Amino acid sequence: MNTSVGLVTTEYVTFDTELRLESGRVLGPITLAYETYGQLNAERSNAILVCHAWTGDAHAAGRHHPDDRKPGWWDGMIGPGKVIDTDRYFVICSNTIGSCKGSTGPTSINPRTEKPYRLSFPVLMVRDMVRAQQLLLDHLGIDTLVTVIGGSMGAMQAVEWGIHYSERVRSIIPIAGTARTSPMSIALNSVARQAIFNDPLWKKGNYRTEHPPTDGLALARAIGHIAFLSDTSMHLKFGRRYSARDGLFDFFGQFEVERYLEYNGHNFPQHFDTNSFLYLAKALDLYDTAWNFESLQEAFSYLQCPSLWFAFTSDWLYPPYQTEEAVEVLRSLGKHVEYHLIDSDYGHDSFLVEPEKFTHLISHFIDRQA
C-alpha cells in the first residue's frame, strides 16, 4: 500500500484585508503559505487542520521533489492509511503569520514603505495566527473542521481554535502544550534573544540578507535544542563521548553533545530568518489561554468540543503538570476531555520522535469525531 501523499506543492493566497491584532495594530494585506493533502468531500465536512511548531512550515507531508532528502515534518502521521488518513480526510497545514516560510512576516514587504517590515512588524500572539488561519478556511470554503491538531506551538493554536471558534471545530488535539508559558520557558527564550542581540551583525534587526547574524541565531537555536531534549535522551544519544577528532586535553576540544549543538545551530540560519525567530519566540512567551479573560476557568468555559491532550514524562520545556493544569480545569467544568501521559525519554521532542506511542489513541479519537 502506498503510504505517501507523493509530490506536493506549497500554495499561496493573499488576502487584501487588514487583520486587527490583539495588540490593537492592524496587519494587511496578508499572505498565507499552505499545503493540502487528500480530497475534500462533497459535504466539505472532512477537513483536518494541522498546526506546526515554532520554526515549522506548511510542508507537513510528502516531498516537493523526487530527490528531496526528507519528506514533510509530520510525514509519518499524514498519508494514506496513516493516523491522519488522507484516504478519508482533507488535510490542511498553513504556515503561521510571523514566519519566514511563505506567510507574511518580518521579511515581507511593508506596502506602506515598500521595504521589508523588519522590526516594524507588529508583535503577534498565537491568537492572531489562528485569526489569519480563519481567512484560509473561508477561502477554501470550509465551515467546520473534524479536528485541529498540533504539537508545542501547534498545540497552542489548537486550543485557541477550540475556545474562540467553537462553531468551526468539532474537536482539538493539543500535544506537548501548555495553557500558558512558564517563567522558565520565557527565561530560556530571553537568553536566546540576548545571543542574537549581542551579535554585531544583528544591527537592531536591520541586518543585510546576505550577512545575517549567523553566530547569534546559531547560539539561540542551540539553547532551544537543549530545551527540546532531556537528560536521558542526551545520555542515550551522546553519553560522555569525546569527539574522536579532538585531543582530550585540547582546550577547544569538544564532547559529541557540543558538536551536535554547534552543527545544528550553524545549520539553522541557512534556512530561517533571525527576526522571524524572534517574533515567534515573543508569541510563545506571550501565550496565555486566559488572555482577555478573568481566568483559565472562564477561558475554557468557551471550549464546547471534545479535546484530547498529550504530555510526555521527560518534557521539561512544557512539563506534564502544565498540561494537567488545563485538563483539571476542563474536568472541573464538566467538559469532554481525555488526557494521556506518555512515557518517553525524548523530552519535548517526544511527539516528533516517538509518535507510535500515542498515534493509536489519536486514530480512535478522530474516528469518533468524523
pLDDT of residue 2: 60
How many distinct helices (H) and strands (E) make up the chain?
11, 14
Nearest Cα residue to 192 out of 154, 156, 232, 226: 226
The catalytic site residues sit at 152, 315, 348
**Burial (Cβ within 10 Å: 0-12, 13-18, ≥19) of residue 157:** buried
Does 240 show up as a binding residue in the annotation? no
**Burial (Cβ within 10 Å: 0-12, 13-18, ≥19) of residue 190:** middle
pLDDT of residue 114: 96
Domain ranges (residues) in the chain: 11-181+289-368, 186-281
pLDDT of residue 244: 82
Give the count of alpha carbons within 13 A of 168, CB side only: 22
Write out pLDDT tens, residues 295-336: 999 999 999 999 999 999 999 999 999 999 999 999 999 999
pLDDT of residue 337: 98
pLDDT of residue 76: 94
The pTM of the whole model exceeds 0.85 = yes
3-state SS, residue 213: coil
Write out pLDDT tens, residues 199-217: 999 999 999 989 999 999 9
List per-residue pLDDT tens for the chain, 370 residues long.
468 999 999 999 999 999 999 999 999 999 999 999 999 999 999 999 999 999 999 999 999 999 999 999 999 999 999 999 999 999 999 999 999 999 999 999 999 999 999 999 999 999 999 999 999 999 999 999 999 999 999 999 999 999 999 999 999 999 999 999 999 999 999 999 999 999 999 999 999 989 999 999 999 999 999 999 999 999 999 999 998 888 788 888 899 999 999 998 899 999 999 999 999 999 999 999 999 999 999 999 999 999 999 999 999 999 999 999 999 999 999 999 999 999 999 999 999 999 999 999 999 999 998 7
Does 349 show up as a binding residue in the annotation? yes
Alpha-carbon distances, residue 165 vs 60, 127, 295, 332 (angstroms): 23, 11, 18, 22
Q: Would you identify the CATH topology of the domain 186-281?
A: Rna Polymerase Sigma Factor; Chain: A (1.10.1740)
Q: Would you identify the CATH topology of the domain 11-181+289-368?
A: Rossmann fold (3.40.50)
